Structure 1
Amino acid sequence: MASSTEPYRQHSRSSSDTHVQDLEKGEAKPNEEEDTIEEKQPQQTDNDIGTNLEKHLSRKSTKKDQLAPEKYPLSDLDNNLVGWDSQDDPANPRNFPTKRKITLLGLVAAITFVSPLASSIFAPGIPFVNADFGNTSQLLGSFAVSVYILGFAFGPLFLSPLSEIYGRYWVLNCSNLFFCAFSLGCALAPNLGGLIGMRFLAGVGGSACLTIGTGVIADMFLPAQRGKAVAIYSMGILFGPILGPICGGFIAQRAGWRWDMWVVLIVGCLLTGGLFVFNRETYHPVLLKRKTLRLRAELNRPELQNIMTYEKDAAAMSPATVLRNGITRPLKMLARSPIVLLCSLYMSFLFGLLFLLFTTITPVFIQTYGFSPETTGLAYLGIGVGNFIGIGFVAKTSDATIIRLAKKNKGVYEPEMRLPLCVFFGTLIPVSLFWYGWTAENHVHWIVPIISLVPFGFGLMGIFAPLQTYMIDCFPQFAASAIAGMTALRCLFGALLPLAGPTMYDRLGLGWGNSLLGFLAVAFIPVPALLFRYGKVIREKYPVKV
């Protein structure tokens, strides 16, 4: 074990002009965003870095000085500090075998697909729900779809801090059980009020994967590897709500709307079981806390301290304090960081547009084009195809882009290197809205409005994945909290904006209604460009101390 009296000196994180190893050191102290831990280690070779990237999600090998090696806090038992045994400690999630990383990423991405899928799967079946329960309110029917997203907004505010106390494993798995239990309640709901209540609670349980999943990625992957990992993870968040209506329409028409919920329950239970078996704890402070407790008992040394938390006093580390701080941290980050606020507003607007389209596509294609509830789900394929193309493009270009830009910047990595292509993707959103609105307004052949939604899906993925990765890279120690704040605001938009859709379209029509949304989307296009140009300055001027 490494032992030294000097290796753990601190330095300010207010400046982002750091190499990738500084970013990684920042993650070594997740309870103090401005503090990092420094430890000398042998220099990795060019071949080592390239091999790691190739094995861990990137086909591009790196060249000399493109990205500097990471460093982790090592044990210093002479000074009563418990850290990792070595830079290659297999217990460190960054050193997990490739198969384990891929397995964990795949399982988390899968449950992150099912949970958002449940948000929209019975949208085409709402006419059957209304008929069963005698509901005549279009607003209440739409709310039965969007209330699930309100659960997404509420859950992360306390699930994220709970994961900092008890770890990712138990919070994620228990939340998934909660999701499955209330999905069962949805399938058995005796009335519309009960269905709405059960869907809200199912959304709370299903929200864990949306925030803890990004924390798992930050725990296991380096910045140069996260682009592809987040792209894979983001597939579920965006594909789930799109494929939900496609499957739900056929299920509701042939087996009844309750079978939409039974399908969600069955798949959710299978994945939850898989996560209980194959999932592993990845949160570094919790792993080192367990190691510290074990060594205290084995060595009879009660004075040993977790190197990541030893400077915190007992009151600051109590579960109640951690939970309270964790609940307020996402809100503080939204209020105090212009970067978090701008990214969250942009993402929230786009997410609201997505769910607004979900609640309007069904009536548009039934009333205007004569689709049945069974075939209406196929109208969502335009967004799905766009997402599929976008995920391939982002996965191929994201990590390669930051490696190229870091090389030009003398090996210095900046989180803003994720953002250049977002401006291009942003232009596709208003183009798609104008195209869709006016072709549907003028009753152009049904295939044209469906094709017009392809750029929307492509642009949505091209903005969503880079912005989410950007947030992880800006706040690596508090990735789950940063994403929790973004998720809460995003899901509020996703739940509430669709409620305004019917009134807006009744007054403005499909053409001008979607044009209004398109003009608002145009206003957001410069946001990634401004962050790319001034993001570093903003982070230095408005450091978030949480």
Structure 2
Amino acid sequence: MASQSTLTPSPSLSREISRDKSPPPLQDADLEKAPTTPSPRQSSRQVFPETDLDAGIVAWDSQDDPANPMNFTQSRKWTLLGLVSAVTVISPLASSMFSPALEDLASDMDITNDTLLSFTVSIYLLGYTFGPMLLAPLSEIYGRRIVLSCANWFFVVWQIGCALAPNLASLIIFRLLAGAGGSGCITLGAGVIADLFPVHQRGLATSLWSLGPLMGPVIGPIAGGFVGESIGWRWVFWLLLISGGALSFAIECFNKETYAPVILRWKTDKLGKELGRSDLRSHYDIEGNDVSPARVLKLGLKRPIILLCKSPIVLFLATYIALLYGLLYLFFTTIPTVFGDQYGFSPGLSGLAYLGIGIPVFIGLVIIATTSDKILLRLAARNGGKFEPEMRLPAMVFWSFFIPVSFFWYGWAADKKVHWIVPILGMSPFGLGMMGAWMPIQIYIIDCYPMYAASGNAALTASRSLVGALLPLAGPKMFESLGIGWGNSLLGFIALGFVPLTVLLTRYGKSIRERFPVDLEK
């Protein structure tokens, strides 16, 4: 029953769905039979486990227990998510903010190898690949708060190393370590959303949190271009140190633990001491989670790999997100060359070209945030009040059609040296499409695995970061061989090839998920 209490819709969702059709409430027997990855069902009541001291079980004091993160006030919920989202902007910002200052670095350290220079940017994303695999399971042992805090400060400290790096080798190592720490907010944000928000609010919550991973890499080059041009590449890291440190301090002051199993574990220990009872067990321990930290860590390290290997849907979604992330960073590799060499822009002005992606990403965010949960409620009502995670995916199909358009538009406009506004506008469909496809995937993983949302998101983060780190290294050679026009057209055809697969996944996703169930507790 570990996941039922998290996934059961709140009374507000029940009332909204019941306007169309009121299904019968869940029976206790149904709750006992619910699978590890259930489809949330419309119910007339919200069900959380409650304390039964006679049976030695410690849970929530009542359905309205204020200690339950699901019962936090709306102001507290959105404040906590806002803090996580704020640092989630700074961390991805660091991935790309340094890229416009590469020429300054090359001149300062006398570096002529373009691949090595590009590697100083992409190595940060390799930290994103390995960090989540450790941070996600640690958060399921010690809680979200302490792990997020440690990861944030780890990220901040290594900005000092990057700013003072005496040579390229040390800079690469420090960037890798900073990326591992910066992956904390990217990994744990999904878990915090699953901890705090019922199903019908997760679309809006995930939209706010996802602003960072998508907008950060876009804002970074804009800011980095002017910083590197005016005060030098080292100040990129000093500014990241100042902003990251300020946000990390704010999180220390206001953040609260949100992971229910950890909160109830603390409550069990406290009650055991107060009542002098050694037989008390947390509800989640009764459900099979009463294992050693080493065992939990081992299980946690395996979960992202298990999801990728045993769930065809997760594998496809992780591959698709990795493709989009790689395409985004391939875009980044061409922008300085296109607008610097062909249009004569300065590094600072070349950074402004990234707004061609950034503004549509923000517009897409607003659209998804305001429509995702409404569409969910409408589809659930048509389905007899039964919510299914696959109801998040139709939006992905619609927006995926926008993505290939940009590569043909931007690529050939830049190749033929059309007025600079045309290739900038050509980036817009990609920005819209990426947000529209990205968001349903993120919410789908949270809805499918709410108790292990951090691990599920780690699978997505690790795969996309690996591709985002390595694929752009091949970009300069590819565009040198094919040219800007045909090089981007190749990327457009690849993106177009994924569109039919998104249609098939939306149509047959439920049957595939049920045919290949994944047990994340063994």
Q: Is the 8 A contact 1:24 1:70 kept in 2?
A: no
- Quick check: 1:440 aligned with 2:419? no
- Quick check: 1:497 aligned with 2:476? no
- CA offsets per residue over residues 194-243 of structure 1, 9 Å max, x none? 11111000000000111111100000001110001001111111000000
Q: Is the 8 A contact 1:62 1:403 kept in 2?
A: no
Q: Is the 8 A contact 1:81 1:306 kept in 2?
A: yes
Q: In the aligned structure 1, how far is the partner of 2:47 from the partner of 2:427? A: 45
Gaps of 5+ in 2: 24-41
Q: In the aligned structure 1, how far is the partner of 2:130 from the partner of 2:13? A: 45
What amino acid does structure 2 have at the position aligned with 1:453?
M
Instruction: Report the Cα offset of residue 527 of structure 1.
Output: 3.0
Q: Is the 8 A contact 1:26 1:476 kept in 2?
A: no
What amino acid does structure 2 have at the position aligned with 1:176?
N
Instruction: Report the Cα offset of residue 192 of structure 1.
Output: 1.1
What amino acid does structure 1 have at the position aligned with 2:213?
I
Instruction: Report the Cα offset of residue 366 of structure 1.
Output: 0.8
- Equivalent position to 2:453, from 475, 479, 482: 479
Instruction: Report the Cα offset of residue 474 of structure 1.
Output: 1.3
Q: Is the 8 A contact 1:425 1:459 kept in 2?
A: yes
Q: Is the 8 A contact 2:72 2:196 kept in 1?
A: yes
> Greater share of helix residues, 1 or 2?
2
Q: In the aligned structure 1, how far is the partner of 2:464 from the partner of 2:420? A: 30
Instruction: Report the Cα offset of residue 27 of structure 1.
Output: 3.9
Instruction: Report the Cα offset of residue 112 of structure 1.
Output: 0.4
Q: In the aligned structure 2, how far is the partner of 1:411 from the partner of 1:484? A: 31
Q: Is the 8 A contact 2:445 2:457 kept in 1?
A: yes
Shift in CA distance, 238/44, structure 1 to aligned 2, threshold 3 Å: closer
Q: In the aligned structure 2, how far is the partner of 1:99 from the partner of 1:78? A: 36
Q: TM-score, normalised by structure 2?
A: 0.93
Q: Which runs of 4+ in 1 moved over 4 A?
A: 43-50, 60-64
Shift in CA distance, 47/453, structure 1 to aligned 2, threshold 3 Å: closer
Q: In the aligned structure 2, how far is the partner of 1:385 from the partner of 1:65? A: 41
- Quick check: 1:455 aligned with 2:429? yes
Instruction: Report the Cα offset of residue 415 of structure 1.
Output: 0.5
- Equivalent position to 2:327, from 337, 353, 373: 353
Gaps of 5+ in 1: 1-9, 11-22, 29-37, 51-59
Q: In the aligned structure 2, how far is the partner of 1:95 from the partner of 1:493? A: 39
Q: 1:90 matched to which residue of 2?
A: 66
- Equivalent position to 2:194, from 200, 203, 218: 218
- Quick check: 1:239 aligned with 2:218? no
Shift in CA distance, 104/235, structure 1 to aligned 2, threshold 3 Å: same
Q: In the aligned structure 2, how far is the partner of 1:460 from the partner of 1:356? A: 14
Instruction: Report the Cα offset of residue 310 of structure 1.
Output: 2.1
Q: Is the 8 A contact 1:46 1:63 kept in 2?
A: no
Matches for 1:97-112 after TM superposition, within 5 Å: 97-112=73-88
- Equivalent position to 1:376, from 350, 356, 359: 350
The farther-off stretch of 63-72 and 195-204 is: 63-72
What amino acid does structure 2 have at the position aligned with 1:299?
L
- Quick check: 1:336 aligned with 2:292? no
Q: 2:513 matched to which residue of 1?
A: 539
Instruction: Report the Cα offset of residue 363 of structure 1.
Output: 1.6
Instruction: Report the Cα offset of residue 65 of structure 1.
Output: 3.5
Instruction: Report the Cα offset of residue 150 of structure 1.
Output: 0.4
Q: Is the 8 A contact 2:5 2:49 kept in 1?
A: no
Q: Is the 8 A contact 1:183 1:261 kept in 2?
A: yes
Q: 2:341 matched to which residue of 1?
A: 367
Q: 1:514 matched to which residue of 2?
A: 488
Q: In the aligned structure 1, how far is the partner of 2:13 from the partner of 2:183? A: 40
Q: In the aligned structure 2, how far is the partner of 1:469 from the partner of 1:47? A: 17
- CA offsets per residue over residues 287-319 of structure 1, 9 Å max, x none? 0000000000011111000111125386xx111
Structure 2 SS opposite 1:308? helix
The farther-off stretch of 510-519 and 303-312 is: 303-312
Q: 1:201 matched to which residue of 2?
A: 177
Q: 1:290 matched to which residue of 2?
A: 266
- Equivalent position to 2:235, from 248, 251, 259: 259
- CA offsets per residue over residues 231-258 of structure 1, 9 Å max, x none? 1111111000000000110111111111
Q: Is the 8 A contact 1:26 1:477 kept in 2?
A: no
Q: Is the 8 A contact 2:21 2:384 kept in 1?
A: no
- CA offsets per residue over residues 489-526 of structure 1, 9 Å max, x none? 10000000000100100100011101111111011112
Q: In the aligned structure 2, how far is the partner of 1:174 from the partner of 1:243? A: 25
- CA offsets per residue over residues 328-353 of structure 1, 9 Å max, x none? 11111100000110000000000011
Structure 2 SS opposite 1:371? coil
Matches for 1:246-325 after TM superposition, within 5 Å: 246-312=222-288, 317-325=291-299
Q: In the aligned structure 2, how far is the partner of 1:84 from the partner of 1:279? A: 21
Q: In the aligned structure 1, how far is the partner of 2:20 from the partner of 2:74? A: 22
What amino acid does structure 1 have at the position aligned with 2:248?
T
Instruction: Report the Cα offset of residue 320 of structure 1.
Output: 1.0
Q: In the aligned structure 2, how far is the partner of 1:185 from the partner of 1:148? A: 14
Shift in CA distance, 231/44, structure 1 to aligned 2, threshold 3 Å: closer
What amino acid does structure 2 have at the position aligned with 1:229?
A
Q: In the aligned structure 2, how far is the partner of 1:26 from the partner of 1:49? A: 18
Q: 1:326 matched to which residue of 2?
A: 300
Q: In the aligned structure 2, how far is the partner of 1:164 from the partner of 1:525? A: 35
Instruction: Report the Cα offset of residue 528 of structure 1.
Output: 2.9
Instruction: Report the Cα offset of residue 48 of structure 1.
Output: 8.3
Structure 2 SS opposite 1:351? helix
Q: In the aligned structure 2, how far is the partner of 1:45 from the partner of 1:398? A: 19
Q: Is the 8 A contact 1:46 1:64 kept in 2?
A: no
Q: TM-score, normalised by structure 1?
A: 0.89
Q: 2:36 matched to which residue of 1?
A: none
Instruction: Report the Cα offset of residue 531 of structure 1.
Output: 2.2
Q: In the aligned structure 1, how far is the partner of 2:18 from the partner of 2:443? A: 21
Q: In the aligned structure 1, how far is the partner of 2:13 from the partner of 2:461? A: 38
Q: In the aligned structure 2, how far is the partner of 1:483 from the partner of 1:186? A: 28
Q: 2:359 matched to which residue of 1?
A: 385
Q: Is the 8 A contact 1:46 1:62 kept in 2?
A: no
When the two chains are superposed, the root-mean-square deviation of aligned CA atoms in Å is 1.9
Q: In the aligned structure 1, how far is the partner of 2:146 from the partner of 2:207? A: 25
**Count of residues in correspondence between the two structures:** 501
Q: 2:4 matched to which residue of 1?
A: 25
Instruction: Report the Cα offset of residue 321 of structure 1.
Output: 1.0
Q: In the aligned structure 1, how far is the partner of 2:87 from the partner of 2:509? A: 33
